Amino acid sequence: MKGERLKIRSERIGLEGITLLLFLSIFNFQFSISAHAQEQLSYRRNALAMMLVYHPEDEFGGEIYKAFDSLPIPDKYDDHTISIRVIDNSTIWGVQRRDSGYFKATYGHQLTATELQANALYTERLLNDNQVAKKMIAKWFGFQGSSVEDATFNTELIQTRGQYNANDVDVALAMQTTRGLATLSDAGEELLNNTFVLVNDITYITAEQEAEAAKMAIGVLGALMDAVTGGNAGRDMAGAAGKIADSFTGFKVKTHSYLYQLEWNDSIAAIFYQFHYTGTPDPVKVQAFLDDKTTYRLRYVAHEYEFDKKSVLKGQYERTELVRTICARSMDKNIVALAKKYEDFKVKTPVFQVLTNERGKIEGYAAKIGLKEGISENSKFQVVQMIQDPETGKTTYKYIATVKPKKGCIWDNRYNAVLEQDAGATLPYTTFVKTAGGEILPGMLLIEGKYRKVTE
């Protein structure tokens, strides 16, 4: 949904002297969805905003920044991008004991568990000090206006993404009925509570760094050889190896991804709906929302690290596209790992089509996920049906079947896979086959592994 992406100016976060743009800067945001986009939003995705730790001190820091800024949010998540997209490492103080900035993965240095924890918790504090959670809630509730005097909230985005009836999520009406309150609670659990920020700290290794290390190691070996033999063979070997190392080209990234979840529960919802939300101009409530610095928070939930020493890209890339492709694939791998590690972050995707042969016999089920989402021939998925209780408004997920990818039919939907002419890149989807369960229909959801909300 590249064309649907929000065009929001990237801002950088620093701890000192940096604040969020005044909330009035997002009052004029108007949310609209095309008919095509509505079809794409026919199931409830988790919402995601992605940020980058920018290292201007690095030679390729600017190119990583540009690459990150050009990449869309993965289409299996709803784009919840806000104005803050970048944490500028050169303006951060207090993470490391001696120097400014994050503990940093560099060539020859892997982050320790202590350093990872320091980075993760410091980022949590930084995001909360800058009220990022509040901005995400403001986006959920359509906060808009030209001033505190005429600013209002609405539930249009929640209605659209959650497929709720307009009256059921109209706060003024919902607060008056048991079913309405249940629906607002369901929206909180299904949508707001499944809102995430993923902070990506990307550093890199270049061919030159590897070549220099290789030359140094071979040079030491050559000097020892000459010392033992008294000849020049070692120096000759080092010189030849140095030329080979210098001719090697490559760019490999080290990506540390830190995942944060928006905190939303009944207590937080009660404060928001009673003291802050207003569908009509109410300067007192709006100002109370702007002034509140403690209610709305993000919490750190998981970390993932991706570095592939053997990563090689086929085809011809100019440098900018090379960096973009490597960064995209590295972040995608971390997202897959985090979804497997942290259940609330699991990807849901609908069955796109039931595949039949010319005799009408079912041969499989199509879904728009593939290698980008980490699918392999060993992957297993639950097929579930989303059911909303007409009396309570609550959502449940009913188990229908179990499926696995069909051998040789996994879609390679990774960034630039078509350009590299990889196997599976021209497939339109991944084909799954049923291994257990009942009838599978289009629109039912696939969830990898077991999902705790599913009932038999």
Domain boundaries, the chain: 2-201+253-343, 346-455
Over the chain (456 residues), the average pLDDT of each successive run of 10 is: 36 46 39 38 86 92 93 94 92 67 85 94 94 98 95 96 91 90 93 97 77 46 50 50 41 92 97 97 97 97 87 68 89 95 93 94 96 94 92 90 96 88 90 97 94 84
Residue 6's pLDDT is what?
30
Contact, 175 vs 275, CB < 8 A?
A: no
Tell how strand 445-448 and strand 381-388 pair up: antiparallel
Q: Give the separation between CA 453 and CA 344, rounded to whole angstroms.
A: 10
Residue 16's pLDDT is what?
39
Contact, 416 vs 321, CB < 8 A?
A: yes
Q: Give the separation between CA 331 and CA 422, rounded to whole angstroms.
A: 19
pTM of the model: 0.84
